[in-house]
């Protein structure tokens, strides 16, 4: 009975992640309008941008721009928190099973890093812009890294990355207007 519930949870996670990815990818152009709603809009935009798995969505560009409109630390907090929540989709995809991606060389490399360095891998990979973080989330979920550990280290890395981009946007765009 327990195995059946786990299987159902895994199937539900895959359906959820696929649905979110397709939804975000189809509304990606309209999503940028959420930034006009201030910090809550930036949070929602980041959730949407980072909820896609292996599909590109705008996120850092909005943070860069909004850093010159709002206080960069507030932008980073809203965007970093939204990004960490959005990245849970990759973790859920990994929880559902790794068969979709396990034959990729990057998956093996990230699995090795995750086994050796654990949460530090999540922190570093979420702190730098890179196309492999979705796979890192999948690896963390498939290795059953504790949910709260994944979320905290992902949030810290995303917060750091968003701080850099918000302050860069603030300084760069303010130089252009002065």
How confident is the prediction along the chain (178 residues), in pLDDT tens digits per residue? 666 665 666 556 556 545 554 554 454 455 456 567 889 988 988 888 888 765 556 678 778 888 888 899 999 999 999 999 988 888 888 877 654 565 667 788 888 999 999 899 999 999 998 877 888 888 898 888 999 999 999 999 999 999 999 999 888 866 666 5
Contact between 63 and 165 (Cβ < 8 Å): yes
* C-alpha 159: how far from chain center: 11
Provide the 8-state DSSP code for 130.
-
Q: Which two tokens stand for residue 135?
A: 């796979």
Q: Where are the domains of the chain?
A: 2-177
Cα 147 to Cα 141: distance, rounded to the nearest angstrom: 8
Which residues, at least 6 apart from 131, have a Cβ–Cβ distance to it below 8 Å?
none
| pTM to 2 decimal places | 0.76
Q: Calculate the alpha carbon distances from 62 to 40, 51, 168 in Å.
A: 13, 16, 12
Which residues, at least 6 apart from 55, have a Cβ–Cβ distance to it below 8 Å?
21, 24, 25
Cα 171 to Cα 72: distance, rounded to the nearest angstrom: 10
CA end-to-end span of the chain: 66
Cα 116 to Cα 137: distance, rounded to the nearest angstrom: 16
Contact between 97 and 6 (Cβ < 8 Å): no
Q: Kindly tell me the sign of the dihedral angle through the C-alpha atoms of 144, 123, 33, 37.
A: positive
């Amino acid at each position: 009975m327990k195995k059946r519930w786990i299987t159902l949870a895994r199937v539900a996670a895959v359906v959820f992640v696929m649905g979110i990815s397709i939804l975000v990818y189809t509304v990606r152009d309209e999503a940028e309008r959420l930034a006009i709603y201030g910090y809550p809009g930036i949070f929602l935009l980041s959730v949407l941008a980072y909820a896609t798995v292996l599909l590109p969505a705008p996120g850092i560009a909005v943070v860069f721009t909004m850093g010159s409109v709002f206080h960069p630390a507030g932008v980073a907090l809203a965007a970093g928190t939204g990004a960490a929540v959005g990245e849970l989709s990759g973790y859920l995809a990994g929880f559902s099973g790794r068969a979709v991606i396990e034959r990729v060389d990057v998956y093996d490399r990230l699995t090795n890093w995750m086994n050796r360095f654990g949460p530090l891998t999540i922190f570093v990979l979420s702190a730098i812009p890179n196309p492999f973080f979705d796979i890192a989330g999948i690896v963390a979920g498939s290795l059953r890294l504790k949910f709260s550990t994944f979320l905290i280290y992902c949030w810290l890395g995303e917060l750091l990355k968003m701080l850099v981009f918000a302050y860069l946007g603030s300084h760069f765009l303010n130089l252009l207007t002065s």
